[in-house]
Structure 1
């Protein structure tokens, strides 16, 4: 138990720098006296660790101290390389490949080429990549950002925010940030975020340990029951987990989906090969929309 605590103490000091003995004691659920005994044990083992008294005192490691690679087990080294391989496959982490090469040489292990992921569409991703990289820079450098945002309520607002994290959820990238306009944390979908500017203004808030507890602000969901023409079977089987067929070969599927402005567009994207069976109010809404479309084309 003590050996595990000693290693965890070193990792904490490497990450955060100087830490008060009381804070370490509270974190590891031991007494302050035990922490100082741990400091003595680490010092005796040759670790350059120091305890300074006073109001601004605390426990810290020598700034030039680094962990030896021998402190990582073979399994831990493998897990690090496997994790980096996954990151290298994700859009926005294209610099990770060089890091993997260096760590492979340091660990004297072959790089595990175990996964390939591509979140890109068939369209050019240059602008999306630039946006992603700029937001990553703003988060790492704690720079305030400003941008125009188009909400699902068809409104455009000018926002200023402290960026916290990039989040991939539901096949889309989001920025989680503290919005200075709303004075609260918000999710912003990257595809609706335009005219991004990184300000010279920085912020001191430390969001590195922030746990994102809020869910995406989505409207209430509805349970859809849909009927599809068999000519669209390729797409239906791509998008729905459970699909039933009748004797005519038509397909039936159900799903729970937020009742947002995008719902009607999603249904209409199936063209004349879909029919909404339930709920009745969605069926009526689609009927009215089709009437407006027909009227527009007739005019």
Structure 2
């Protein structure tokens, strides 16, 4: 398309300072005459391109012209640079080259150490740190993938899935994918995924618009209401984990949280992570179950 070629001409001239029409034509796969027509169009659009004949001559921008002054505000330039730095930190292919090119066009001095993003979990080997990049490629290009998965009970399964989306929620990354094993959409926690392999098999399935990673609890699900008392010593964590509408501060500083939880092993493992700073007020059944688990832990010592 001509508009794409015009943009490419602008970036090529900004990058190389001086190019002949023949060089531009060879680079873009068009004739010298086409390049001349494109230059006329750019000139009409007030893009200050000058032409010098003879040895060492060619097409170039008028001295003092720069892309940042003509098209992007300072804020827009910073956003573009920051986005590329994030991609570079995430090991996105060729992001480093793109960052240097764009920074050169905007005359920015890069401060590449301002941000570091590590998508891996604590203690993960280097190979696992490339999972995000591999999954991104599989999701965009719609490749079926296989991997080994450790579920909450540490049962190991071999999964074949159609990856659809990566979601960061509640301090962790999750993969939403259609499972060939279950014939349904499933959510996989990234820290439990091992040995990702991208196959050559393609898929066309789309994630449903109404899909949500967060389960909807309704009264008819018979999910009990927990009343929890948290010590004010870990108020920071309580406000990280729960929305304010579920939190009530009592006169003694205790934070009372009212929330629906299932009576499952996951719930009690989660509550035990708060240690001595949480107390179950209700339901009684949950209090007794947590007490028994605490006794088992104590018996180990």
Please indicate the TM-score interval, normalised by the length of the shorter structure. Answer: 0.5 to 0.7
Contact conserved, 1:145 with 1:198, CA < 8 A, in 2?
yes
Q: Which residue of 2 aligns with 1:226?
A: 228
Q: Which residue of 1 aligns with 2:101?
A: 102
Unaligned runs of 5+ in 1: 1-6, 15-44, 48-68
Q: 1:226/1:145 Cα in 2 relative to 1: closer, same or farther (>3 Å)? A: same
Contact conserved, 1:225 with 1:255, CA < 8 A, in 2?
yes
Instruction: Tell me, in whole angstroms, the C-alpha distance in 2 between the residues paired with 1:196 and 1:114.
Output: 29
**Number of equivalences:** 231
Q: Which residue of 1 aligns with 2:24?
A: none
Q: Which residue of 1 aligns with 2:54?
A: none
Q: Which residue of 2 aligns with 1:251?
A: 254
Q: 1:160/1:104 Cα in 2 relative to 1: closer, same or farther (>3 Å)? A: same
Deviation at 1:147, TM superposition (A): 2.0
SS in 1 for 2:300: helix
1:202 equivalent in alignment to 2:204: no
Q: 1:184/1:87 Cα in 2 relative to 1: closer, same or farther (>3 Å)? A: same
Report 1:32-181 matches (<5 A).
Answer: 73-75=71-73, 77-88=77-88, 91=90, 93=92, 96-109=95-108, 116=115, 118=117, 123-124=123-124, 126-152=126-152, 155-181=155-181
Q: Identify which range, 261-270 or 162-171, moves more after superposition.
A: 162-171
Q: 1:133/1:83 Cα in 2 relative to 1: closer, same or farther (>3 Å)? A: closer
Unaligned runs of 5+ in 2: 8-36, 40-65, 218-222
Q: 1:206/1:279 Cα in 2 relative to 1: closer, same or farther (>3 Å)? A: closer
SS in 2 for 1:131: helix
Q: Which residue of 1 aligns with 2:268?
A: 264
Deviation at 1:223, TM superposition (A): 4.8
Instruction: Tell me, in whole angstroms, the C-alpha distance in 2 between the residues paired with 1:161 and 1:237.
Output: 35
Instruction: Tell me, in whole angstroms, the C-alpha distance in 2 between the residues paired with 1:146 and 1:183.
Output: 15
SS in 2 for 1:284: helix
Deviation at 1:132, TM superposition (A): 2.5
Deviation at 1:121, TM superposition (A): 5.5
1:215 equivalent in alignment to 2:212: yes
SS in 2 for 1:123: coil
Deviation at 1:276, TM superposition (A): 1.0
Instruction: Tell me, in whole angstroms, the C-alpha distance in 1 between the residues paired with 2:157 and 2:279.
Output: 36
Q: 1:293/1:109 Cα in 2 relative to 1: closer, same or farther (>3 Å)? A: closer
Deviation at 1:74, TM superposition (A): 0.7
Contact conserved, 2:145 with 2:197, CA < 8 A, in 1?
yes
Contact conserved, 1:82 with 1:112, CA < 8 A, in 2?
no
Q: 1:236/1:216 Cα in 2 relative to 1: closer, same or farther (>3 Å)? A: closer
Contact conserved, 1:150 with 1:156, CA < 8 A, in 2?
yes
SS in 2 for 1:100: helix
Deviation at 1:191, TM superposition (A): 1.7
Contact conserved, 1:146 with 1:197, CA < 8 A, in 2?
yes
Instruction: Tell me, in whole angstroms, the C-alpha distance in 2 between the residues paired with 1:103 and 1:270.
Output: 47
Give the ranges of 4+ consecutive aligned residues of structure 1 lying more than 6 Å apart after TM superposition: 69-72, 112-115
